[in-house]
Chain A
């Protein structure tokens, strides 16, 4: 920043003038100002600075700390209990899922199952005929007709 004072001496001289000028410029306080101030003092309410009662402040800090800890504990998720033994709910859930899976089986699997059942029926009939053929006649006659 460019100054109009070309060197430090000029600035110092100007500062001296300002100081001397201020001393000359001072005026005494107006007459009666002192008395007017003092006369109004009794009617002026004095603010009382709030002072913490002894011991109250640490108690409040402790209470706030406890409250904070309590809130943290309250907000913390509770631990899940360990699983133990047979759970009926799990079984029911499994059955419900199995039903859903069976319902979702494709139709072609149903057809294959039907074929398998027919084959099994034929095989069983043949086996039963052989067993009957091998029985003694009187015993075969006693059996109901198939």
Chain B
């Protein structure tokens, strides 16, 4: 029974929950609480706020479930609700100062031991920690949704409530700024030693901003 339930798509569970099934909604909470919490951590840069927002997002989803259209992905709908709540919370508490520049790089360097063989896990953590410090909120949100949640640009655009072109620009800028910050932090420069330099213009023209 439990195995069969795991096979059920989120959309089918949402349809059951629309019919009043608390059990189906429990499954949805179980399935999405981790990813949503992590996204909100990246989005807000604050674990406590992310926890509150995750809880509120699920409650809002339960409240507004009758408006969910099962033709669309449940995750996109849930993230959109969470995004709106995060924006409201951000507005109500005011803009918090973002740590930037050398201070951020110092913090990141301090968290990684350069003398030891840096494990991939530590490097990955450091990469996103750095992203949280040097990128703008919308840039790191877009990057996380693209590379952690593996969402398409259109889905990200729907969640963030912006046109696809804007999302592509955020992704591009986010990668550029993070790459630059990585070099400055001397963690692991993004330069690949593999192939000879090629003009990037052709790639950018064919969707390099994605």
Give me the interface of A with B, judged by CB distance under 8 Å: 1, 3-11, 13-15, 17-30, 33-34, 36-38, 40-41, 44-49
**Which residues of the partner chain B approach A34 to less than 8 Å between Cβ atoms?**
29-30, 33
> What is the interface of chain B, defined by CB distance below 8 A to chain A?
22, 25-26, 29-30, 33-35, 37-38, 41, 47, 51, 54-55, 58-59, 62-67, 120-129, 143-144, 147-148, 150, 172, 175-176, 179-180, 188, 190-192, 194-200, 203-204, 208-209
Asked if A6 and B55 sit within 8 Å, CB to CB, the answer is no
**Do A21 and B127 contact each other (CB < 8 Å), given the known contacts A1-B209, A9-B192, A30-B51?**
yes
The reply to whether B65 and A26 form a contact with Cβ atoms under 8 Å apart is no
Contact of A3 with B33 at beta-carbon distance under 8 Å, contacts A21-B125, A26-B148 already known: no
Q: How far is the CA of A9 from the CA of B147 in the complex (A)?
A: 17
- Residues of A near B55 (CB, < 8 A) are 33, 36-37, 40
Distance to closest chain B CB from A119 (angstroms): 101
CA A10 – CA B55 in complex, angstroms? Answer: 39
Known: A1-B209, A7-B197, A37-B29. A20 touches B124 (CB 8 A): yes
Pairs A–B under 8 Å by Cβ, sample size 6:
A13-B190, A14-B190, A23-B148, A24-B122, A25-B129, A49-B67
The answer to whether A29 touches B175 (Cβ under 8 A) is no
Q: Which residues of A contact B35 (CB under 8 A)?
A: 26
Is A33 within 8 A of B66, CB to CB? no
Give bound CA distance, A28 to B64, whole Å. 26
Q: Interface of chain A, helix or strand or loop or mixed? A: helix
Distance in Å: Cβ of A40 to nearest Cβ of chain B? 6
Nearest-neighbour CB distance to chain A for B162, whole angstroms, equals: 18
- Tell me whether B179 and A14 are in contact (CB under 8 A): yes
B interface secondary structure, majority: helix
Give the Cβ gap from B49 to chain A, nearest Cβ, in Å: 12
Q: Which 5 residue pairs are nearest across A and B when measured between Cβ atoms?
A: A24-B124, A21-B124, A22-B148, A21-B127, A49-B66
Evaluate contact between B66 and A47: CB separation under 8 angstroms: yes
Q: Are B124 and A22 in contact (CB under 8 A)?
A: yes
Determine the chain B residues whose CB is within 8 A of the CB of A4 once the complex forms.
176, 179-180, 190
* Neighbour of B197 across the interface among A6, A36, A40, A44, CB < 8 A: A6
**Contact indicator B147/A37 (Cβ below 8 Å):** no
B65 touches A46 (CB 8 A): yes
Query: What residue of chain A has the Cβ atom nearest to residue B59's Cβ?
Result: A44
CB–CB A18/B147 < 8 A: yes
Check if B127 sits within 8 Å of A37, measured CB to CB.
Answer: no
Taking a contact as CB atoms under 8 Å apart, the answer to whether A26 and B194 are in contact is no
With CB as the reference atom, state the residue of chain B lying closest to A23.
Answer: B124
How far apart sit A30 and B47, CA to CA, in the bound complex (Å)?
9
Contact B63 A44 (CB under 8 A): yes
The residues of B that contact A5 with a CB separation of less than 8 Å are 175, 179, 190, 200
- Quick one: which of A8, A17, A24, A44 contacts B200, CB cutoff 8 A? A8
Known contacts A4-B180, A5-B190, A22-B147; is-contact A33 B51 (Cβ 8 Å) = yes
